[in-house]
Amino acid sequence: MKKEHKLLILSNGSTIRDEAMQAILSKIDIVKLSLDCATQMCFKKLDRPHVSVNLEAIKEGMKAFRKRYHGELVIEILVVDGINDTLVEFEALNLVLQDIKPDRIDVGTIDRPPAYAINGVSMERVIELSSQLVGLHVNIAYKKEYTQKKRTFSEDEIVELLKRRPQSFEDVRLCFDETSQQHLQTLIDKKRLHVKHIAGVSFYTI
- Which residues, at least 6 apart from 1, have a Cβ–Cβ distance to it below 8 Å? none
Domains along the chain with CATH numbers: 1-146 (3.20.20.70), 147-206 (1.10.10)
pTM of the predicted model over 0.85: yes
Q: 87-96, 139-148, 186-195: which range is least confident on average?
A: 139-148
Structure confidence at residue 196 (pLDDT)? 96
Using alpha carbons, select from 84, 66, 56 the residue that is nearest to residue 26: 66
pLDDT per residue over 139-150, tens digit each?
A: 999 988 888 889
Rounded Cα distance, 36 and 158, in Å: 29
Across the range 112-133, mean pLDDT stands at: 86
Residue 114 has pLDDT above 70, yes or no: no
Residue 186 has pLDDT above 60, yes or no: yes
Rounded Cα distance, 165 and 136, in Å: 6
